Every structure is written in structure tokens, then in C-alpha cells.
Structure 1
Amino acid sequence: MDFWKRAQELKDEITQNRRHIHQSAEVGLNLPNTKAFVMEKLREYGLKPTECGHGVTATLGKPGKTLLLRADMDALPMPEESGEPFACPTGETAHACGHDMHTAMLLTAAKMLKENEDALCGTVKLMFQPAEETFEGAHDMLENGLLENPPVDAALAYHVAAGKSPVGFVMYNDSGVMMASVDGFEITVHGHGSHGANPNLAIDPINVGVHIHLALQELIARESDPTKTCVLTIGQFMAGTAANIIPDTAVLRGTIRTNDKKARALLVRRMRETAERTAAVYNATVEIRTLSEVCPLVCDKSVTDDMLRYMGALNIPNFTPYGGISATGSEDFALVAERVPSAMMYLGAGYMDERGQYTAHNPKVVFNEGVLPIGAACMAHCAVEWLKENA
């Protein structure tokens, strides 16, 4: 089958699926409407989907090597200001990272593979996962046997890139860390509240939290290896109910990102020590909770090079591979790549006009739907060719 030609024939269907998912954006582990839609479509295409943890999986083909194809399904808890007529109407959730695109592409890839199932020299396993944004979904599915029955030999995933990344661009890394690790944390500062007019009678958790925030920044400035990528960000600081009340507690939530195992271990350990010791200086205590733990995403060179070769044979217009990509963003597909040889690539889905000024996680981001048949064709074609060469 000419998957590129077939994907173009199915462009209206891919687009319709994408817009349905986009309009019904859901967040986190529990995605009842999105999951039901995915399972309904898979059945319509002739597959037999099953639940895997909070996600969905299905297999097709015949016994042999197994290639996993992955898409994430969750959105972000934010308003949408894209101006698209199919924007999510709730005003509270938005597919501002493109996961609706990923799901639509994998659905169409599944349809085409089912149409061409006799040509498969092994098994294709589909992974539709929730909660990538909270770094829970891949872990959830792995714990529920994703890589078993049948055992997975390799995996492939794509992520669309908005902004000024034109359709046809393919960005990858086959020789190092493609995306950083992520360690999310929550620091609850326990102090002692009082009237705002009598700070001497309080242990002010806001004051303690401010000093913890400042001290944590020094871990990057003075303790991290400057040749490594190291980021420590506090994204939430919550405390108090009124201007004249010193509260009992304050909460800081943040994230650590690195591209190096030693740097990661150092920062996680020193974050805890710094928070505890800084609080002790001001007679407060802290409670530290881990929110997420995901290793850096390292793609397998052999699998990545093979997938790029297969993609190049599709004769996609403006196909332009661009290597050496490394980002401080994180991906829980890294947990799959840690266990089986894997490839993940960015597919250009942006615009070169004014629509390209907004990137992922911006409420105004707009994704170019011209990438949809490209992603679907690449997934299906790569699966057929990889299984053929590794039979």
C-alpha cells in the first residue's frame, strides 16, 4: 500500500477525528469521552481495543516481532484563545500541546494498517495514553502490562511542533538526550499563623517560602555543572486568605529538568536539603512530596535511523530531516524508551505567517492540520517496513 497516498485520501476523516477530540478536551488520567471515542473508532476500523490502566491498547498483525506505536490523548487545564471554530467550549481545557493531533494520526494509521494487515510481518501494538502532561500516563500503562502479551521489541512516537516549524520538517536526536528528565515536587512549609499586625508572634511560612525559593535558585547558579542542561522552576506559590493574616502554611510547587543522571540526582537531593535547612533557620518545617519522576528521553540510534529512512521513502513534499534536537521539555514516553529501543521525533505543524508566533502551551497556539496525513502515513509505513526488516 502507498500509505502517503492513502493518508491523503483519508485527510478529511483524520481532520474530523482531530477536531472532535479537540472540542472534547479532557485532562489527567481519566479521559472518559476521549477514551470512548478512541475505542469506538478502533472497533469501527476492525480492531479489538482493550483498556490498559487508564489508557487504551490494541494489536494487529501476526506473531513475530512487535512494534509499539504511541499517541497521547490528554489536554491542558487552561483556556483556549486559538479562534478555531472547534475550540473546546468549556473555557477550562485546551489541546494546546497537540495531543489531539497525535491521537487522530494514530487512529488513521491503525485503520490503514488494518486494511493492509496481511502485509505485516509481525505485530503492531497501539498505545493511546492519558496524562502525559502530568507524567502519569505512561507509568500507569507500563504498570498494567503495556509491554507484555506480546512483548514489545521497539517503539515509535511523534510529537507535533507548532510555532515556526513548517509542515514537512522532521526533528530528531539519534546521538544523545532528546528531552530532559522531570522531577516535579511540592514543598509545604509549616509555620505558625497570627494576626498580620503581630508578626513577632508568628512563624511566617510565606517569608520562609520566599527564602526557600531564592535558595533553590542558587543550586542552578552555583552547584550545577554549567556544561549540563539544568533547570529548576517554581511555578506555583500558594499561601494565605487575607492581607492581614499570617497563615499557618505555604505551598511551593516546582519542577527540575536535566539531561544528565548525575546532575538530576544532585538537584533532587539538594532541593530537599535546601528546603529543609532553610526552613529550620526560621523555625519552620517542611513536608516534601514528589509529583513526578521521569528519566531523560534517549532515542535509540538504530531505530531512529531506520525510521528516518522509511519516512524518506514516502516522498512527502518538503520532507526535511533536522537532527541534533535537544529540549528542556520532558516526555513520559522516556519511560518506554528506557525499557525498549525507541524513536521519537517532532513533526513540523506550524505556520510561517502570524499564526506561527505562538507555540505549544500558549492559549493562542494554532496547529497546522497539514501534518495529519504525514504523521498517519509515517506511522503505518514505518511499522510495515520495520517489521519486514526485523522479521
Structure 2
Amino acid sequence: MNYYERAQELNEETIANRRYFHTNAEVGLDMPKAKAYVMKKLTEYGLEPKECGYGVTATLGHGGKCIMLRADMDALPMPEESGEPFACPTGKEAHTCGHDFHAAMLLTAAKMLKENESELEGTVKFMFQPAEENFLGSKNMIENGILENPKVDAALAYHVAAGKMPVGIYMYNDNGTMMYSVDGFQIDIKGKGSHGAYPQNSIDPINIGVHVYLALEAIMAREINPTKACVMTVGQFQGGTAENIIPDVATLKGTIRSNDKQARELMVRRMKEVATKTAESYGGTAEITMLSEVPPLICDPKLTDEFVGYMKEMNIPGMMPYPGVSASASEDFASIAEKVPSTFMYLSAGYPDERGQYGAHNPKVQFNEGVCPIGPSCLAYCATQWLKNNK
């Protein structure tokens, strides 16, 4: 089967599926509409989908080696200002990261692979996951056995990219860290509230929080090797309900990111120590909760080169490789890549004109549906060829 030609024939269906996910955007782990839609479509295509944790999986093929194709399905908790006629109407959820494309493209790939199942020389497993944005989806499906029965031998995922770039560029890293780790943290500082006119009767958690914030900045300035790529950001500081009341509790939330394992471990350990000891020195306490713990995304070099070779074989017009990509953003596919040889690539879905002026996570972002035949055909062809050459 010529997968690219077949994907072009199915393009209207891919776009319709993408727009369904877009209009019916959902966030987090519990995504009942997306889950039901995926299971309905896979059943129509002749597969037998089943729930896997909060996600959906299905398999096809004939035993042997198993390659897994993954798509995330979740949106972001934000309003949409894209101006698209199929925009999410709730004003609370928006597919501003392109996961609607991922789910739709994997559905089309599943349909084509089912049509070509007799020619497969192994097994293809599909992973439709929720909650990538809060880094819980992959772990949830791993805990519920997505990598077993059959055991996954390799995995592939694509992510569309917005911006001022033409459709057809595929970006990858076959020689290092593609995306950073992410360790989200919450520090609940507990003190003693009082009337604002009598601060001597309080243990002020806001004052403690300010000192904790400054102490965390010192970790980055004085303890981290400047040759390492590291980020520690506190993006949320909440405390109090009125201007003349010192509260009992103040909360800081932040994120730690790095492309270096040892630096990551140091930052997480020192964040906990500094927050705890600083709070104690002012008479309070600090309780730390880890909101996410995802390793750096490191793609398998050999596997990545193999998939790049297959994509070049397809001779899709306008397709162009862009190697050596690395970003300080994070991706929970890293939890898969940590356990099985994996490859993650970006597929450009931007516009060279004014429509490309906004990037992912912007409420005005627009993605180019010209990528819709490319993603499914590459997924299907790479899976088919990998099984053929890795029996």
C-alpha cells in the first residue's frame, strides 16, 4: 500500500476527526468524549479497542515484534481565540498544542494499517493517551500495562509544531536530549495567622514564602554548574484573603527542568532542603508535594536514524529533515522513552504568513491542516518498515 496516497484519499476524514476533538476539547485524565470517540472509530475500522487506565489502546498484526504508535488527546485549560469556525465553545478548554491532530492522525494510521494488516510482519499497538499537559497520562497508562501484553519493543510519536514555517519539515534529535525533564512542585508554607495590625502574634507564611523564593533563586545562581542547561521557575505564589489579615498558609508552585540527570537530582533535592530549612528558621513549616516527575526525553539514536531513513524513502513532496532539535519544554512521552527504545519528532504545521505569528499554548494559535496526510502516512509506513526489518 502507498500510505501517502491512501492518506490523501482519507484526508477529509482525518480533518473531520481533528475538528471533532478540537470542538470537544477536554483536559486532564478523565476525557470521556475523546475516549468514546476513539473507541467508536477504531471499532468502525475493524479493531477491538479497550480501555487502558484513562486512555485507549488497540493492537493489530500477527505476533512477533511489537511497535507502539502514540498520540496524546488532551487540550489546555484556557480560552480559545483562534477564530476558527470549529473552535471549542466552552471558553475554558482549547487545543492550543495540537493534540487534536495527533489523535486524528493516529486514527487514520490505524485505519490504513488495518486495511494492510495481511502484509504486516509483526504487531502494531496504538496508544491514545490523556493528560500529557499535566504529565500524568503516560504514567497512568504504563501503570495499567500499556507496555505489556504484547510487550512493546519500540515506540514512535509525532507532535505538530505551529509558527512561521511551511508544512513538511520534520524535526528530531538523534544525538542527545531532545526535551528537558520536568519536576513540578508545590510548597505549602504553614505559619500562624493573626490580625494585620498585630504581626508580632503571627508566624507570617507570606514573609517565609518570600525568603523561600529568594533562597531558591540562590540555588540556581550559586549551586548549579553554569555549563548545564537548567531552569527553576516559581510561577505561582498565593496567600491570604484580605489586606489586613496574616494567613495561616501560603503556597508556592513551580517547575524544575534540565537536560542533565545529575543537575536535575541536585535541584530537586536542594529545593526540598532549602524550602524546609528556610521555613523552620522563621518558625514555620514547609510541606512539599511533587506535581510531576518526568525524565528528559532522550530518543534512541539508532531507532531515530532508522525512522528518518523510512521517511526519506516516502518521497513526500516538501518533506525536509531538520536534525539536532532540542528544547527546554517537556513531554511526558519521556516516560515511555525511558523504558523502551523510542523516537519523538516534530512535524511542522505552521503558516509562513500572518497566521503563523503565534506559537503553541497561545490562545490565538492556528495549525495548518496540510499536515493531515503526512502524519498518518509516516506513522503507518515507519511501523510497517520497522516490523519488516526487525523481525
Letter in 2 for 1:381: Y
CA deviations 1:21-42 (Å, max 9, x no partner) are 0111111110000100000000
Partners of 1:386 and 1:236 lie apart in 2 by: 45
Letter in 2 for 1:252: L
Q: 1:360 corresponds to which residue?
A: 360
Partners of 1:254 and 1:328 lie apart in 2 by: 15
Partners of 1:359 and 1:282 lie apart in 2 by: 43
Partners of 2:350 and 2:224 lie apart in 1 by: 34
Q: 2:23 corresponds to which residue?
A: 23
Q: Cα distance, 1:195 vs. partner?
A: 1.3
Q: 1:295 corresponds to which residue?
A: 295
CA deviations 1:307-360 (Å, max 9, x no partner) are 111111111122111111111111111111111111000000111112212111
CA deviations 1:261-306 (Å, max 9, x no partner) are 1001100000011111211222111100111111111100111011
Q: 1:73 corresponds to which residue?
A: 73
Q: How does 1:267-346 map to 2 (within 5 A)?
A: 267-346=267-346
Q: 1:48 corresponds to which residue?
A: 48
Where 2:252 maps in the other structure, the secondary structure is strand
RMSD: 0.9
CA deviations 1:66-101 (Å, max 9, x no partner) are 000000011111111111111111100111111111
Letter in 2 for 1:103: A
CA deviations 1:121-164 (Å, max 9, x no partner) are 00000000111111111011111111111111100000111112
Q: Cα distance, 1:208 vs. partner?
A: 1.2
Partners of 1:62 and 1:208 lie apart in 2 by: 61
- Give the length in aligned residue pairs: 391
Residue 184 (str. 1) matches residue 198 (str. 2) = no
Q: 1:142 corresponds to which residue?
A: 142
Q: 1:61 corresponds to which residue?
A: 61
Partners of 2:214 and 2:321 lie apart in 1 by: 41
Q: 1:88 corresponds to which residue?
A: 88
Partners of 1:137 and 1:237 lie apart in 2 by: 26
Q: 1:166 corresponds to which residue?
A: 166
Partners of 2:198 and 2:73 lie apart in 1 by: 50
CA deviations 1:92-117 (Å, max 9, x no partner) are 01111111110000000000001111
Where 1:90 maps in the other structure, the secondary structure is coil
Residue 10 (str. 1) matches residue 15 (str. 2) = no
Partners of 2:226 and 2:326 lie apart in 1 by: 16
Partners of 2:148 and 2:287 lie apart in 1 by: 37
Q: 1:259 corresponds to which residue?
A: 259
Letter in 2 for 1:247: P
Letter in 1 for 2:27: V
Where 2:213 maps in the other structure, the secondary structure is helix
Partners of 1:118 and 1:72 lie apart in 2 by: 27
Q: Cα distance, 1:216 vs. partner?
A: 0.9
% same residue: 67
Q: 1:245 corresponds to which residue?
A: 245
Q: How does 1:207-226 map to 2 (within 5 A)?
A: 207-226=207-226
Residue 36 (str. 1) matches residue 36 (str. 2) = yes
Partners of 2:131 and 2:165 lie apart in 1 by: 25
Partners of 2:181 and 2:253 lie apart in 1 by: 17
Partners of 1:301 and 1:343 lie apart in 2 by: 8
Partners of 1:276 and 1:285 lie apart in 2 by: 6
Q: 2:154 corresponds to which residue?
A: 154
Partners of 2:165 and 2:213 lie apart in 1 by: 35
Greater displacement, 121-130 / 234-243: 234-243
Where 2:280 maps in the other structure, the secondary structure is helix
Partners of 1:238 and 1:49 lie apart in 2 by: 43
Letter in 2 for 1:21: F
Where 1:37 maps in the other structure, the secondary structure is helix
Letter in 2 for 1:239: G
Q: 1:382 corresponds to which residue?
A: 382
Partners of 2:224 and 2:364 lie apart in 1 by: 35
Q: 2:99 corresponds to which residue?
A: 99
Letter in 2 for 1:126: F
Letter in 1 for 2:270: R
Q: 1:125 corresponds to which residue?
A: 125
Partners of 2:232 and 2:370 lie apart in 1 by: 36
Segments of 5+ residues of structure 2 without an aligned counterpart are none
Where 1:158 maps in the other structure, the secondary structure is strand
Partners of 1:218 and 1:145 lie apart in 2 by: 42
Partners of 1:164 and 1:285 lie apart in 2 by: 48
Q: Cα distance, 1:228 vs. partner?
A: 1.3
Partners of 2:152 and 2:280 lie apart in 1 by: 49
Q: Cα distance, 1:200 vs. partner?
A: 2.1
